[in-house]
Structure formats: structure tokens, C-alpha cells
């Protein structure tokens, strides 16, 4: 997310990895989401919605994001095994759900296809970075405008 989303952030996590990855992954997503939500403030001038398709060899990932103020996550895709890099693949879904809740954004995440879970995960996180970068850009044409007809997000 830092490389492909160009977000200037650092995340340091100390977790109960002796139990499993669950709380650490979930809490990283929540901390990241809270930081993004705080950084966006009243969202004045931002593009607000963006999406990205990112390939990784045979896998194709897609992420669409809307900083609507309404948390909702849809995560679809077939993982081929129960874990990738030692992390349960179900935790990948949980990461996106937790991020959406804390960042107060609508997030749609989809693995279109792929054979290798590492490639699928990589495609999704790169797509997340790109979509985040696109949605958080300040558009000069919108510089004084909150991007909602309601005037508040
Ligand atoms: Mn949980």
C-alpha cells in the first residue's frame, strides 16, 4: 500500500503471534483504516471513488473503493488453499472487512481468476494500493467541495 498507494505511513505491530495471526492482521487493518479516515478529514476536494485491476502473472485482482462514510465490504474470490505465507486465507477477507469498517469506506474486492494464492493475494493488495491512491487524490477542480450532493460525508 505504501509502494503502490504512495501513502506516507509506517505501521509497527506487536501482536499475539504465538496464538495465531488473527488479531495482528485484524488490528493492522483497523489501525490502517482509522489512520486513513483521520487523514482524509472532511474529504474536501478528494476524488472519493476509484478502482483498479492489477495482474500478477496468471492472477487478476480488482478493488473498487468509495470513501462514502458508509462502511461496507464485499470480498469475492476463490482461494486455492487454506493459508498463504502461513496466514489463513480467510484472514485476507477479514483484513478487507476490517479496513472498510475503520476507514468508513465501501470496498469491493474480487479475485477474478488465478491459480496461485500468493499471486492472488499480491494482485489484491497492489490493487488496493492503486485504488486507495486514486480515491484519495485531491482534484483541483473539487478543491473546496466535499464530494457528495449532501454536502457532508
Ligand atoms: Mn476478528
pLDDT digits (tens, 9 = 90+) for 7-42: 888 999 998 999 999 999 999 999 999 999 999 999
The model's pTM? 0.93
Helix (H) or strand (E) holding 132: helix 117-136
Separation CA 116–CA 100 (nearest Å):
25
Is 2-41+49-142 a domain of CATH 3.40.50.300? no
* CA 20 to ligand 1 center in whole angstroms: 12
Q: How far is the CA of 152 from the centre of ligand 1 (A)?
A: 30
Q: Residue 75 C-alpha to ligand 1 middle, in angstroms? A: 15
CA of 137 to the centre of ligand 1 (A): 30
| Across 85-93, average pLDDT | 93
Residues pairing with 107 in the sheet: 65, 73
CA distance 91 to 25: 7
Q: What is the per-residue pLDDT for 15?
A: 86
Amino acid at each position: 500500500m505504501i509502494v503502490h498507494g504512495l501513502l506516507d505511513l509506517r505501521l509497527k505491530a506487536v501482536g499475539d503471534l504465538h496464538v495465531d495471526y488473527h488479531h495482528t492482521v485484524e488490528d493492522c487493518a483497523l489501525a490502517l483504516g482509522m489512520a486513513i479516515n483521520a487523514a482524509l478529514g472532511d474529504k474536501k476536494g478528494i476524488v472519493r471513488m476509484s478502482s483498479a485491476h492489477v495482474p500478477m502473472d496468471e492472477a487478476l485482482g480488482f478493488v473498487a473503493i468509495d470513501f462514502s462514510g458508509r462502511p461496507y465490504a464485499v470480498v469475492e474470490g476463490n482461494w486455492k488453499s487454506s493459508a498463504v505465507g502461513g496466514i489463513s486465507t480467510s484472514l485476507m477477507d477479514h483484513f478487507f472487512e476490517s479496513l472498510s469498517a475503520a476507514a468508513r469506506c465501501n470496498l469491493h474486492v474480487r479475485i477474478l481468476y488465478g491459480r496461485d494464492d500468493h499471486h492472488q493475494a499480491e494482485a489484491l493488495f497492489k490493487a488496493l494500493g492503486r485504488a486507495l491512491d486514486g480515491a484519495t487524490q485531491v482534484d483541483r477542480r473539487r478543491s473546496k467541495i466535499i464530494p457528495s450532493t449532501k454536502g457532508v460525508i
